[in-house]
Amino acid sequence: MSKRKAPQENPNEGITDFLTELANYEKNVNRAIHKYNAYRKAASVISKYPTKIKSGAEAKKLDGVGAKIAEKIDEYLSTGKLRKLEKIRQDDTSSSINFLTRVSGIGPAAARKFVEEGIKSLEDLKKNEHKLNHHQRIGLKYFEDFEKRIPREEMLAMQEIVLNEVKKVDTRYIATVCGSFRRGAESSGDMDILLTHPDFTSESSKQPKLLHQVVEQLEKSHFVTDTLSKGDTKFMVSAILTDLGLAEGPALQRLVRVPASPHQVPGYNLVAPLKSRSGRSVGCRFFCQQKTSLQGRKWHLSGITGSHVKVPVSILPHLPLRSGLREEPFVLNGGF
């Protein structure tokens, strides 16, 4: 199951739940990314279907739902369960790997290694903390907080702090909060902030300096309490709003991801708003690969490259992307 679910109207929640669970199994246990993407895409499309699906044949009419998934939907609708999932849930190794990947910093490979060593739970991780790297230790420390969704009101407060602090470093920074927040969701699993700067190009030697300046400013403001990882082009931190006053009880630690995108060769910008477990990165990836290959360019998560690709932010066009049942505009840089 997904570790965090937004409260929302979904007449086909049972179907999307089992598809998401199958997707996580294929990614974390089998490492079958193509199957993971297929299940995610189907779950995303079905989650937006306005009425209750009554058969696999009905679901198959939707883009992204093939014959095999339709068969599973028929089985679920007729029996209320899925044989494949029942078997997976009874397998201790599969269940343990899936669970451990919910800890920030523990991927499928690390989870499998831990399980092989007999480490299968949070308590096991705590007893073997010496085997964890820095990121994993912070992920374990704030596991309960990271599992809780962030209300939109809190996201707005966090956005205001980040944008203000970034401008204190340099007013030329462009920072955009992406993901489900950008699409108007009432809550988010974490915060994704896309960062770019005129001096930050794909060839620039200033990349690390520009990014690290922002990290240092956020730490100085006491918004960031822990840095999980910090590279030349992205960082991940734990942040907290101590004076929020939006809810009873202590403020919670929140996971914040900040990728930096080259100002001239923006590719991550298109992907960033799709990476919040909404299933949209699948269609976006296919769309980008097709469009860029037709123009003699190469597309990957960190950018769109090509000898003739030096496009200033101001003239980048909006790209309509058919995703699920809605037509949504995305741009390559400077917002979505």
Which residues are annotated as catalytic? 72
E strands in 137-178: 150-151, 174-177
DSSP 8-state class, residue 321:
E
DSSP state of 250: P
* 332: phi then psi, degrees, rounded to nearest 5: -80, -20
Residues 6+ positions from 296 with CB-CB distance below 8 Å: 306, 308
Tokens (6 digits) for 221: 């403001």
CB neighbours of residue 291 within 10 Å: 15
Nearest CA-CA partner of 14 in 37, 46, 62, 56: 46
Distance (Å, rounded) from C-alpha 332 to C-alpha 313?
8
* Phi, then psi, of 65 in degrees rounded to 5: -110, 110
Query: What's the residue count for the chain?
Result: 336
Instruction: Looking at 122-151, list the stretches that DSSP marks H as alpha helix, in order from N- to C-terminal side.
Output: 122-127, 134-141, 143-147
Specify the DSSP class assigned to residue 263: S
250, 154 in Cβ contact below 8 A? no
- Whole-number Cα distances in Å, 83 to 59, 60, 79, 118, 257: 20, 20, 10, 27, 37
**Do residues 132 and 59 touch, judged by C-beta distance below 8 A?**
no
Q: Which residue has the tokens 């451990």?
A: 100
State how far the Cα of 203 lies from the Cα of 26, in Å rounded to an integer. Answer: 37
